[in-house]
């Protein structure tokens, strides 16, 4: 069953098109990673699905209900986690959760039990009497997730839940999201931390300038990104000269000079690294490149193949490399 569906969903702000005929389907129980550069339309999509923003045209459905026409029925079925939560002065964690539980008409002993349950699930029991506005950023994000779990929603909409967190807090949020996935929740999560999405999500959508470039399984995104093989070559010196030599090899698709620090590779004599991409079925074997360069008088400092992962797929799809 499709828990989230958009049909030609479009949102305009004057001449700016934030969403351009977005067609998206997310089935029940899916953890869906929504990837895109800043301004791509991720937050706009999530806010429309959360019934907080009206689309210009098109349709959005959540749990079989239509946004804009059945908002009252949709809201009890969703939990929306924005990138930043508002602070509540002089309110402690347990009071904060009880306040929101009462907003969902959870009363009496049931309210007390559900608050204790979500505190335990999010590992916040020991912070029950701490003031909300005194919590760390990571604790506040966990509390924000606890808040949206009070009414046991079927769909979770999360906008950059790990934004601004330190490494430990990101790991804790990731483990919490894994547990929610095991509980059968349908999760739509936007994030810039791509390696964590690859581990957490079974499907991803890549969006740029309001257009959906890809939607499907993570493995399929990576498979489509395998357009030729790319190698990194580091030299002691004369990197530009070596790049000129390599452009003349048969079967070479592209030779690009990169900054070694930008690629997070070992430092080289002139701070540059050669990014060498071969055509599929190239007549030049990549393993022959080091000996060819050495025989031409170049001194090699390193040679290795670039791994193809979700980050690679994102870069190639948004750059139009993959059709």
pLDDT exceeds 90 at position 102: yes
pLDDT exceeds 60 at position 18: yes
pLDDT exceeds 80 at position 180: yes
Q: Does the pTM exceed 0.85?
A: no
pLDDT confidence tier of residue 16, bands split at 50, 70 and 90: very high
pLDDT confidence tier of residue 321, bands split at 50, 70 and 90: very low
pLDDT score, position 217: 87
pLDDT score, position 172: 84
pLDDT score, position 110: 94
pLDDT confidence tier of residue 47, bands split at 50, 70 and 90: very high
Structural domains of the chain, with CATH: 2-218 (3.40.50.300), 227-307 (3.30.70.100)
pLDDT score, position 266: 56
pLDDT score, position 33: 92
pLDDT exceeds 60 at position 320: no
Q: What's the 3-state SS for the chain?
A: CEEEEEEEEEEEECCEEEEEEEEEEEECCCEEEEECCCCCCHHHHHHHHCCCCCCCEEEEEECCEECCCCHHHHHHHEEEECCCCCCCCCCEHHHHHHHHHHHCCCCHHHHHHHHHHHHHHCCCHHHCCCEHHHCCHHHHHHHHHHHHHCCCCCEEEEECCCCCCCHHHHHHHHHHHHHHHHCCCEEEEECCCHHHHHHHCCEEEEEECCEEEEEEEHHHHHHHHCCCEEEEEEECCCHHHHHHHHCCCCCEEEEEEEECCCCCCCCCCCCEEEEEEECCCCCCCHHHHHHHHHHCCCCEEEEEECCCCHHHHHHHHHCCCCC
């Amino acid at each position: 069953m499709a828990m989230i569906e958009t049909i030609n969903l479009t949102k305009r702000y004057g001449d700016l098109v934030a969403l351009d005929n977005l067609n998206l389907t997310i089935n029940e129980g899916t953890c869906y990673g929504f990837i895109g550069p800043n301004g791509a339309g991720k937050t706009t999509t999530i806010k429309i699905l959360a019934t907080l923003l009206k689309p210009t045209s098109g349709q959005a459905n959540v749990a079989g209900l239509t946004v804009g026409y059945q908002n009252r029925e949709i809201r009890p079925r969703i939990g929306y986690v924005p990138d930043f939560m508002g602070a509540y002065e002089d309110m402690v964690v347990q009071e904060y959760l009880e306040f929101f539980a009462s907003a969902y008409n959870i009363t009496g002993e049931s309210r007390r039990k559900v608050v204790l349950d979500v505190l335990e699930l999010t590992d916040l029991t020991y912070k029950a009497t701490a003031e909300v506005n005194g919590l760390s950023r990571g604790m506040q994000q966990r509390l924000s997730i606890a808040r949206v779990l009070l009414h046991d929603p079927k769909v979770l909409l999360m906008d950059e839940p790990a934004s601004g967190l330190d490494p430990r807090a990101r790991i804790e949020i990731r483990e919490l999201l894994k547990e929610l996935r095991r509980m059968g929740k349908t999760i739509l999560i936007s994030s810039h931390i791509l390696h964590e999405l690859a581990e957490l999500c079974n499907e991803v959508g890549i969006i740029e300038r309001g257009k959906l470039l890809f939607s499907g399984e993570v493995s399929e995104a990576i498979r489509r990104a395998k357009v030729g093989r790319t190698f990194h070559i580091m030299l002691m010196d004369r990197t530009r000269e070596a790049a000129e030599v390599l452009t003349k090899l048969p079967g070479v698709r592209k030779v690009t000079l990169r900054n070694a620090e930008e690629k997070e590779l070992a430092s080289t004599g002139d701070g540059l690294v050669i990014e060498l991409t071969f055509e599929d079925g190239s007549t030049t074997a990549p393993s022959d490149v080091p000996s060819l360069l050495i025989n031409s008088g170049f001194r090699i400092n390193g040679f290795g193949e670039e791994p193809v992962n979700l980050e690679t797929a994102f870069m190639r799809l948004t750059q139009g490399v993959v059709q």
